[in-house]
Structure 1
Amino acid sequence: EHGIHDPNAKYGPMVSIVGAGRLIKGIEEELLKAEVGKDYEVTIPPEKAYGERDPKLVKIHSYRELARQKIEPEIGKEVIINNKRGRIVTVTPGRVVIDFNHPLAGKTLKYKFKIVEKVEKDKDKIKAILEMDYGKELEKFSISVRKEEIVIQLPDVCKYDSAWSMAKYVVVGDIRDYVANKNVKFVEFYPKKEEKREEEKKEEVEKKEEEKEEESVGKKD
């Protein structure tokens, strides 16, 4: 209806740590009051969402400056300039106007939500943290919560995924902040090479003998 649907986005229940500051203030306040299983519809004012629009965050950049960064100016295009994300709002000869305000700044927001589950057990909290901070092949993680440490056996994807190389530090931090301040151990499993079966060994020996016989026959000819 409002043109904000993203066909590439994943929609469905999301994991969040309420009170960690990862959601807008207004939503966190409403979640703290909400009950599991009930549907809610709330209105969040700008000051508890993305703030009011700031005219100072609308900047003029030269066409040449964007060209140096290999950015082709187009109205509505999102760009990153000096590590700040903005949206091109005007393109004129030699000049480009970029708005660095959040797209929802100055807007009153309406949300519909339902808490489907409140995670209580430590093991389930760790699973939720893995989903929130990494989100891949969650069913293949094996988690053991012990007295002095937490041991997490990793799926094979983590051995080669550069995203995991960064995510694991966030996972450890969240576990210590929101589950337990314990040692966290990640385990990679490399199974031993299986020995060849007797039948396979026999076939290889027979094949080598046949090759030798063929070579000797060829030499006689």
Structure 2
Amino acid sequence: MADAKRIVRIDYKAYFADADRLYDTTNADAAKEAGIFNEKVTYAPMAYIIGSGSLYADLDAAIAGAEIGKETEVTIPCEKAAGARNPRLIELHPIKEFYKNEINPYPGMSVSLGNRNGVVMSVGAGRVKVDFNNPLAGHDLKYEVTVVEEVTDPVEKAKCIMEMDFGTSEGFGFGIMEDKVVITEAEICKFHEGWAVAKYRLVSDYRNTFGVDRVEFVQVWESKKADAPAESSE
């Protein structure tokens, strides 16, 4: 097995640096205080593969060099984050497009049009102005991040990857060999619509993390054992 990549669990607070306004966090109390708490979100330390490229490069570097348990602050300029806002991504759409989909638009509403996500800026006479820019575009960002722990056990690392890419590791089995990673699928995989897509991400992350070429997924179907006949009382 080639050198494995590092996996850590992090707590963080993410701010728009220009307004010092919190927009994302793993801390429930901080989310409530900032008025961004979401009941559907699980607030807990987040698993992250260092060097995976899924976070901004400056933030990744800060996490890679951080001491466990010590908070690190990093500010990322707009051009290294989501980039500048593009005025061409602010568009006017006929309001009938929304009504056709039984949507009554209002300013601040998140919408999806033509596989693009945007935010309604204003609603006028028959037209709706929608901003399709990345919500982080045009902002310098500030992160306060703490590496809570580094995950070193191979099976625990495999579980972390499953949690990142599929949302849960419950019910899965994990085998980490020198030349391959073997995943025994949970029962939910037989019926989950997103499992097929998740496997593509999992294969990439398992290969890159453990330095193997082969990733196997094992699906188990067991016949139910018939109930034993009840003994006669006679």
TM-score normalised to structure 2 length? 0.75
1:170 aligns with 2:208: no
Aligned length: 202
Provide, for residues 24-66 of structure 1, a one-character-per-residue CA deviation record: whole Å limited to 9, x for no partner. Answer: 3332232233222211223222222222222221111121233
1:97 aligns with 2:129: yes
Name which of 215, 218, 222 aligns with 1:184: 215
> C-alpha separation between the residues in 2 aligned to 1:184 and 1:121?
18
Q: Which residue identity lines up with residue 108 of structure 1 in the other structure?
A: D
1:125 aligns with 2:162: no
SS of the residue corresponding to residue 47 of structure 2 reads coil
Instruction: Give the % identical residues.
Output: 38
> C-alpha separation between the residues in 2 aligned to 1:93 and 1:195?
67
Q: Name the counterpart of 1:23.
A: 55
Equivalent residue runs for 1:27-176 within 5 Å: 27-136=59-168, 138-176=169-207
Q: Which residue identity lines up with residue 134 of structure 1 in the other structure?
A: F
User: Cα–Cα, structure 1 residues 93 and 196, in superposed 2: closer, same or farther, change >3 Å?
Assistant: closer
Q: Which runs of 5+ in 1 are unaligned?
A: 207-221
SS of the residue corresponding to residue 167 of structure 1 reads helix
SS of the residue corresponding to residue 115 of structure 1 reads strand
CA contact 1:126–1:179 (8 Å) conserved in 2: no
SS of the residue corresponding to residue 129 of structure 1 reads helix
Deviates more, 1:102-111 or 1:127-136: 102-111
Larger strand fraction of residues? 2
Deviates more, 1:86-95 or 1:49-58: 49-58
Larger-gyration structure (1/2): 1
> C-alpha separation between the residues in 2 aligned to 1:30 and 1:84?
32
Q: Which runs of 5+ in 2 are unaligned?
A: 1-32
Q: Which residue identity lines up with residue 86 of structure 1 in the other structure?
A: G
User: Larger relative CO (CA 8 A, sep 6+): 1 or 2?
Assistant: 2
SS of the residue corresponding to residue 29 of structure 1 reads helix
Q: Which residue identity lines up with residue 161 of structure 1 in the other structure?
A: H
Q: Which residue identity lines up with residue 46 of structure 2 in the other structure?
A: M
CA contact 1:39–1:112 (8 Å) conserved in 2: yes
Q: Which residue identity lines up with residue 195 of structure 2 in the other structure?
A: W
Q: Over the residues paired in the alignment, what is the CA RMSD in angstroms?
A: 2.4
> C-alpha separation between the residues in 1 aligned to 2:93 and 2:177?
56
Larger helix fraction of residues? 1
1:130: how far off?
Answer: 0.5
